[in-house]
Structure 1
Amino acid sequence: MSIEMPKGLPFSVDTWSPCSKRKRHHFLTHAHKDHSVGISSHFSYPIYSTHLTKTLLLQHYPKLDESLFVGIEAGKSVVIDDPDGVFTVSAFDANHCPGAVMFLFEGEFGNVLHTGDCRLTPEYLQRLPEKYLGKKGKKRRCQLDYVFLDCTFGKYYHSFPSKYSAIQQVINCIWKHPDATEVYLACDLLGQEEILVDVSRTFGSKIYVDRVTNPEYFDALTVIAPEIISQDPSSRFQVLDAFPKLNERAKVKFAEAHINLKSEPLIIHPSAQWYACEVELLDNETQRKLRFNEAVKDQFGVWHVCYSMHSSREELEWALWLLEPKWVVSTTPSCRAMELNYVKKNCLTSRISPTDLLWKLLDISMEHSSVAAVSIEYIESSVSEEPSQSPAVSQFLLIKKISSPKKFFSFSPPRKRPPVTLFGRARFGFQESAVQITEKNILYLEDKALQDVDNIVGGKFSNKGEESNEQRCCSKILVKKADGSAYKIHCEKAEEIKAELDHAQLSSWDEHDPKYELDKKRPIELETHKIPISVGSPNCFNERFRKLYRSMNVAVPRPLPSLVELMNACKRAKRRVDFSPCN
């Protein structure tokens, strides 16, 4: 399964999720089902693929609109006019399965090679543009900024035989069993059809495919190689479904041959996965070489040939040293590229300048500063992948330190949390969640009423001197006048001050006065500030509750000590213990 492309790229490759649907352009490398999951509900135009990939895909998804596809064949290029800038896309044979291609994107976002599933042998690497290939004694003209790489066998250290060599092993195995009247080729759908074609040509016989039990294989083969298909069930060569439970299918075939008094059938399974799982059980290097150079029979009677449609670790390392990209991201499985020697040496110890295209790829806005570079270092642990963050982004964000005190990013300040008590924060208080409530009331008074209000507020309700504890922990009213003066009134007198102001307003209001003009009114703002109080603090109780506690001869509750305070108290107690020896 492929991965989501970073936000800074205007296209998606082999992904059909809600996130990728927001991209403006969509690319499909090949027709394997694990790369087309969700495409049946995809209605965004356009989808770029080869004609063969589109034909095979429409067999699986007949309801998919054919007009969504735009053809791009191996060796060809397409220029795409995007709102963020024109970019070029070129397709190259991926050496994986019929119709499979790699995509090379060149634009303002950089030079990006997405391999899809591939096998990067020297023959197919040489088909890439010469400007990206390093040569002995010559410096390449262009460098790939990013390679999204198929690392399926990135942990497999042993060399795979070439596809041609593996096909010859299959043919040699058949030659060595002339008495086998039935030869079953357990070949996977899409990717091993070349084996069937060469066997058919070598032995001059067509291959039987059961249209009833294996309709997908039959339909695909009618498109890829219709000339080798036989509908005669008595044909010597037949296709056997290798997945799942190949061993059980083999037992059935051997039992049928025994009942019908026929010779033992020959069952050949071309696969690299079997070797990747079984190679560790070999005793010595000689056996390992023999297993790769010829077919090997397992305990169930099935003959195995190492035929790989993916690159081994050796081929991946060689390809990266030839291409020398700046960044490498594994498409499947995620983060495996970081285990490659090339990536450890050349990518994870790189230095990123503020002008590097990596920031644009990740869609990160950089602040203008004189920061020289960011140092990237390899971290041996796996990178956690958040739901909103693709594996591609996770591999890029291995930033361990910044080489300058100036910051690239604007982070939110850390939240200050109160100490944790024995019962959490419930009894200690919620200072970080306290809300300051402000209520505003505006009274419009005539100029002649302002003097009365000043006398009322200043004379009767102003709080002079230092406020008491009770006043600090309760609400207050702040009276602001147009001339800038302000008064603080205790919340218990709120009703009184409002009544006095209303009375002053009514006494000065004379709507029959011809001299009265609306523009002479002046606003007075009444702001009620509610001071946040910690839950569990004694100050959170009003006087009624205090009197209730005191009438019952019970102390007013106080907050429980925090765990930190308790631990410190224990440490101090231990220091005071006398450890002097007894007489």
Structure 2
Amino acid sequence: MPIEMPKGLPFSVDTWTPCSNRKRHHFLTHAHKDHSQGISTHSSFPIYATRLTKSLTLNCYPQLNESLFVDIEIGQPIAINDPVETFTVTAFDANHCPGAVMFLFEGTFGNILHTGDCRLTPECLQRLPEKYLGKTSREPKCRLDYIFLDCTFATFSSKMPSKHLAIRQVIDCIWKHPDARVVYLTCDLLGQEEILENICKTFGSKIFINKENNPECFQSLSLTIPNILSQDPSSRFHLFDGFPRLSERAEAKIIEARANFQPDPLIIRPSAQWYVFEDVSSESEKRKNSRFKEAIRDSFGIWHVCYSMHSSRDELEWALQLLAPKRVVSTTPEFRAIELGYVRRHCSFDNLAPDDPLWKLLDIDLEAPLVNEDIQEEVTVNKKEMLTVSSPVKGTCLTLFGRARAGLGNSTLSYEDLVKPEIPTRNVDEVGSDGEVPEGQHDGSKSNGLTKGIGKRATPYSPTGMSNGVNENIRKLYRSMHIPVPKPLPSLVEILNNRKRAKRSFML
């Protein structure tokens, strides 16, 4: 799922939640459902998208009002008149699916490129303004402040074939099986229309799609490639649903053909998923480069071709070297950007100046008056720690926003709500290195080793029980960040007393 944009920005991209609904402007990069989920419930005017993306989205969500959308043309800058500040947005082709775009935002908040889902190629990046493009061993004239990057395959190190080469492999596979009376193509996803177009052009045959069984796909293809669709089931080429239970249905088709003494049907799945997640071949076969040069048949009779609508790690690294952004954050999956070498080398957040624009982006004012002057030093440290929360990846730390960013983006709490002087604390020396507190008493009326104030050696914590001494805002923040709420440690005195009682019971 896409991530929420930071609180300091007046717009959202591909998120439709109560939080993003409070933004003043909304942008939709493309019509895949994982990027439009919730749009019928939390949509508000205006939604900027290309005409094709608007049509495809209205096809999936007919309850939406077309007047919500504002058409945006690729390559044409638009000045957005926001009540706080005017900024400019320009759409560029994302090389992902029909109508998909990247958005370049330029304003006082900085220069931000949001890629949505993308397959970055030289042709794709060369359409960006020249001032943002660097050259060999030379940075661009104007560096992007932030890139919100599609890191779906950031951990996949193998070099993927281009879309053109993958389509060529599909066509070659069909040529090599002339006896197959029926060819089933699992190309029912938005973004695979180019495969169907090339097959139709090469073999002079239209593609049959069962309108009754797959009405949504039929309507989408009717908007993108209506001239190659057929309602004649005698056509050699049939559109085949990729999900669910593809393996079972493929085996059933082969068994049915053999029972009727017919040649095995040809079932082709152009997708990168099998190569990245589902490849069950041996380790020695995985190391062969040939698996990306031609179709591979699995044990169920399905022929796989690596057709990717997302960039591999090599393509992402190359793009980042060319663009040289100051900061990078993964849009999906969350935290995946840290896997990239460029991010580890060039996007450190260890030393952030008080005037760094990142604080404004996160809507944090370091100069704001604090509730208690005695805790000023502690609060300043905590604000900086928001950017270095431990990552799920072992041995690494987040480079942008992290869980704290997600929490701030999804929460209506102000930072001042989190620094009340009455918050109970525990001495740092008593808390484990992982920050977790084992099961213990939840009664806030007992001391359990708590200190009354917040000193230099203390950190705030929040027990899960409904203690009267615990600020409710702290609990809300932990829940909004999807982080387990720390539980109180038993006091050392209590542990020693329990051991003594246990010894006495044993002796008796």
Q: What is the CA deviation profile of residues 11-48 of structure 1, one whole-angstrom value per residue up to 9, with x for unaligned ones?
A: 00001100000000000000001111111124411000
Per the alignment, residue 108 of structure 1 pairs with 108
Per the alignment, residue 160 of structure 2 pairs with 160
Per the alignment, residue 39 of structure 2 pairs with 39
- 1:276–1:223 CA distance, 2 compared to 1 (3 A): same
Q: Where does 1:434-445 land on structure 2 (aligned, <5 Å)? A: none
Per the alignment, residue 346 of structure 1 pairs with 346
8 Å Cα contact 2:389-2:402 kept in structure 1: no
Q: Distance in 2 between the 1:77 and 1:289 partners?
A: 43
Displacement over 4 Å in runs of 4+ = 278-281, 373-380, 395-398, 409-433, 565-571
Structure 1 residue 63: deviation in Å? 1.4
Q: Distance in 2 between the 1:417 and 1:139 partners?
A: 47
Per the alignment, residue 194 of structure 1 pairs with 194
Per the alignment, residue 85 of structure 1 pairs with 85
Per the alignment, residue 402 of structure 2 pairs with 394
Give the unaligned 5+ runs of structure 2.
369-375, 407-416, 431-439, 453-489, 500-508
Q: Distance in 2 between the 1:37 and 1:55 partners?
A: 16
Q: What is the CA deviation profile of residues 384-442 of structure 1, one whole-angstrom value per residue up to 9, with x for unaligned ones?
A: 9xxxxx996326869xxxxxxxxxx9955575679999996757799999xxxxxxxxx
8 Å Cα contact 2:328-2:399 kept in structure 1: no
SS across alignment from 2:288: helix
Per the alignment, residue 245 of structure 2 pairs with 245
8 Å Cα contact 2:388-2:402 kept in structure 1: no
Structure 1 residue 366: deviation in Å? 2.2
Instruction: Tell me if 1:322 matches 2:330.
Output: no
Per the alignment, residue 553 of structure 1 pairs with none
8 Å Cα contact 1:270-1:306 kept in structure 2: yes
8 Å Cα contact 1:350-1:375 kept in structure 2: no
8 Å Cα contact 1:200-1:228 kept in structure 2: yes
SS across alignment from 1:102: strand
Q: Distance in 2 between the 1:381 and 1:153 partners?
A: 18
Q: Distance in 2 between the 1:63 and 1:566 partners?
A: 61
Q: CA RMSD in A?
A: 3.5
Give the unaligned 5+ runs of structure 1.
385-389, 399-408, 434-561, 572-583
SS across alignment from 1:238: strand
Q: Which amino acid aligns with 2:238?
A: Q
Structure 1 residue 317: deviation in Å? 1.0
Per the alignment, residue 464 of structure 1 pairs with none
TM-score when normalising by structure 1: 0.67
Structure 1 residue 568: deviation in Å? 8.0
Per the alignment, residue 176 of structure 1 pairs with 176
8 Å Cα contact 2:28-2:48 kept in structure 1: yes
8 Å Cα contact 1:89-1:106 kept in structure 2: yes
8 Å Cα contact 1:197-1:225 kept in structure 2: yes
Q: Distance in 1 between the 2:17 and 2:170 partners?
A: 40
Per the alignment, residue 506 of structure 2 pairs with none
Per the alignment, residue 267 of structure 1 pairs with 267
Structure 1 residue 211: deviation in Å? 0.4
Per the alignment, residue 300 of structure 2 pairs with 300
- 1:416–1:154 CA distance, 2 compared to 1 (3 A): closer
Q: Which amino acid aligns with 1:265?
A: P
SS across alignment from 1:55: helix
SS across alignment from 1:164: helix
Q: Which amino acid aligns with 1:393?
A: F
- 1:270–1:383 CA distance, 2 compared to 1 (3 A): closer
Per the alignment, residue 335 of structure 1 pairs with 335
SS across alignment from 2:184: strand
Structure 1 residue 243: deviation in Å? 0.8
Count of residues in Structure 1 that have an aligned counterpart in Structure 2 = 426
Q: Which amino acid aligns with 1:382?
A: P
SS across alignment from 2:365: coil
Per the alignment, residue 534 of structure 1 pairs with none
Structure with max Cα Rg: 1
SS across alignment from 1:382: coil
